Amino acid sequence: MNESQHLSSQFDEDLSRLRTHVLQMGGLVETQVSAAIEAYATGEIASVKTIVETDRKVNELEKAIDDDCAHIIAKRQPTASDLRLVLGISKIVTDLERAGDEAKKIAKGVRRIYEGGHLPGQYGVGVRHLAEAALAMIRQALDAFARLDTPQAANVIKADTDVDVEFKSIIRQLITHMMEDPRTITTSIDIISIARAIERIGDHAKNVSEQVVYIVEGRDIRHTKEKAQ
Amino acid sequence: MLSQIIRALLLALLSSLIALPVGFFVAHWAGWSVFCAGLALQMVFHFRNFARLDRWSHRPVVDASLEGEGAWDGIFGRLYRHEKDLRAGIADRDNQIERLFAALQALTDGVVALDLNQQIVYCNTTAEEQLGLALTTDRGQPVVNLVRQPEFVAYLEGGDFERPLTLRSERGTDRVLSIHVVPYAGDRRLLQIKDVTQTVRLDRMRRDFVANVSHELRTPLTVLAGFLETLQEIDLDRADQHRYLDLMAEQSKRMESIVQDLLTLSSIESAPPPSVDIVDMSSLVDKLRRDAEALSGGRHNIVAEADAQCDLRGSEPELVSAFANLVANAVRYTPAGGTVRITWKAMAQGAEFAVEDTGIGIEAKHIPRLTERFYRVDRGRSRDAGGTGLGLAIVKHSLNRHQAQLEIRSTPGVGSRFAAKFPAGRVAKVQ
């Protein structure tokens, strides 16, 4: 009796540490994304190098957390909600890592634009707005995961539609712009790739939220029209 | 306890005393029955009290319902008192804790108490707002799960709390927080969070100010020195000399106006509170309109409307210079053919002086910094137009001294509106 209680509380501790690690990785990704956006807004390409270097840390964290998940499954054979937590986490870290990659892409795009001496100009505002929405999504998705808060997760899933709509309108604007003045094509293509990366970050935040719903309620709402409530 | 046993034995003896003659004279079974009945009565009595205690123990309430009979009464009484004391003690402690929490709530700094595992035990509303926490849902959550910025995590894990951590708040608002970790109750930690946005801003303003003053004064000085050198070394004809001297005079006038503005600013800052003399607003607005027309030279459409029902209390020279500054800005930054509207009218609370133009407008990001000294949206243009970069700083200070708020609204390409809102105490009704 004592022995098993001891084991189970240590198991709880393992799970809670795992969660904290995931959130730490999430925090790093949040910072990466906001630093990339900051670089886009201010044109300070010195920070691009830091972002690219920090991305390695994100990748290492993904591997370490995946390893921990495998260990927990092998050693503890979790069931029910514990198992869902571990499975969910192993998917969440994949999405977080990809969001980190997108941040790196943004940073590199920023370097291309500013090194070429072109300024994002009038598209600065639209893209920044899009980026802030995506950043808020990822923040809220991580909060929802920390608090296992499904209504919050549902909000994030809803917000993804807005980000998609906004992304499309930016693309439309840029296309018109390119047709009017072909000299802007190089910059516009870079801006499109940045906007696309931001939109993908929103998608990853949505995926994280879907995993939160799965962890809490055991319902798999990916690729369905089912509402998260 | 002993007396209870003796009493029980006596009662048993009593029933046997009744039972013995009955068994002897009537029948054996009758005697036994009487004896059993005696014992049974005793049991019923005890069982009733036991049932009462049983019922109460399921849901202990402190009221008079807990009353026993006979020997039970003492036990019930003690239990009742014990329960009552316990409850009073708990209520007292609850009160104390509540007052303590109220004191923590009242702090203007954010406070987060952590336990040994860095989990949130308590935080006040200031901290909730600063860090985006919610005590009701986040109690027991490791704080790094919610405040995830790597700098913060590293600081908390590093264990070196000599210096506070300066953290840029990530939650929407652009605020700067200074986080101090204080150990309490052994190894537990308390986060003390100060909002230093304003301090950081002031620091930057001070740094900028010194750099700006030197820069602003050096530019005309360089020009002056250049011309002086030319005049000393090269023999020029009279006409050229005159031209150079004119340019030099212009630059020295420029320096003078910067120094003059700086002096005005510092004298406003250190001057005693403005008087409460009544300023005739109708004639003031009219004067402003004439000045604006002179400055515009007929290129703009100047409209002035003054509410004759109220006047303003304050120092006339200060107000005139502040209002004239706003009007001059409007004329300067409005292309020819535009409209400048000067209005003075009573509001529900106080009154408002406003200058509205159809000029080039100001981007939203510049508006909060417009009244900083030497802050310029477009350096070149403002200097060409003869500005010192101190005008709006002086306006803001003068208005603040009259308890007025400067409200700036602007849309690039459409126009701007600068409004000074005066509180009711500064407004005088015209009889």
Report residue B184: phi and psi, to 5°.
Answer: -145, 160
Hey, is the C-beta of B149 within 8 angstroms of any chain A C-beta?
Answer: yes
Chain A positions touching B141 (Cβ under 8 A) are 146-147
Cα distance between residue B189 and residue B195, in whole Å: 19
Chain A positions touching B142 (Cβ under 8 A) are 16, 20
- Rounded to an integer, the average pLDDT of B350-368 is 86
- Give the distance from residue A19's alpha carbon to the nearest chain B alpha carbon, in angstroms: 8
- The H-or-E segment that residue B78 falls in is helix B72-106
Assigned token pair, B371:
């009244």
Hey, is the C-beta of A196 within 8 angstroms of any chain B C-beta?
Answer: no
pLDDT of B67 over the 60 cut: yes
Answer whether A220's CB lies under 8 Å from A154's CB: no
- Give the distance from residue A79's alpha carbon to the nearest chain B alpha carbon, in angstroms: 23
Determine whether the interchain pair B153/A27 forms a contact, defined as Cβ–Cβ distance below 8 Å. Answer: yes
Assigned token pair, B224:
């002056």
Hey, is the C-beta of B172 within 8 angstroms of any chain A C-beta?
Answer: yes
For the stretch A143-158, pLDDT in tens is 999 999 999 999 999 9
Distances (CA, A) of B46 to B49, B64, B78: 5, 20, 18
Residue with the larger pLDDT of the pair A70 and B430: A70
Residue B133 class from Cβ within 10 Å (0-12 exposed, 13-18 middle, 19+ buried)?
buried
Percent composition of chain B: helix, strand, coil (DSSP 3-state, to 5): 55, 20, 25
Chain B positions touching A34 (Cβ under 8 A) are 170
Runs of H (alpha helix) within B236-280: 238-270
Chain B positions touching A20 (Cβ under 8 A) are 142, 144-145
Distances (CA, A) of B268 to A49, B167, B265, B356: 48, 36, 5, 26
Q: How confident is the model at residue A98 (pLDDT cuts 50, 70, 90)?
A: very high
For the stretch B388-424, pLDDT in tens is 788 888 899 889 888 888 999 888 888 899 999 998 8
Determine whether the interchain pair A20/B144 forms a contact, defined as Cβ–Cβ distance below 8 Å. Answer: yes
Residue B167 class from Cβ within 10 Å (0-12 exposed, 13-18 middle, 19+ buried)?
buried
In the prediction, which pLDDT does B65 show?
63
DSSP character for B272? P
- Rounded to an integer, the average pLDDT of B9-17 is 87
Closest CA to A199 of A70, A102, A125, A91: A102
- Rounded to an integer, the average pLDDT of A13-40 is 91
Percent composition of chain A: helix, strand, coil (DSSP 3-state, to 5): 85, 0, 15
- Give the distance from residue B170's alpha carbon to the nearest chain A alpha carbon, in angstroms: 9
Kindly list the strands in the beta sheet with B165-168, ordered across the sheet, starting from the edge strand earlier in the chain: B120-123, B110-114, B188-195, B176-184, B165-168
Cα distance between residue A150 and residue A131, in whole Å: 24
Cα distance between residue B126 and residue B111, in whole Å: 7
pLDDT of A229 over the 60 cut: no
Answer whether B415's CB lies under 8 Å from B358's CB: yes
For residue B132, give the chain A residue with the closest CA.
A143
Q: How confident is the model at residue A227 (pLDDT cuts 50, 70, 90)?
A: low
- Give the distance from residue B274's alpha carbon to the nearest chain A alpha carbon, in angstroms: 43
ipTM of the prediction greater than 0.90, yes or no: no
Calculate the CA A226 to chain-centre distance: 22
Determine whether the interchain pair A27/B171 forms a contact, defined as Cβ–Cβ distance below 8 Å. Answer: no
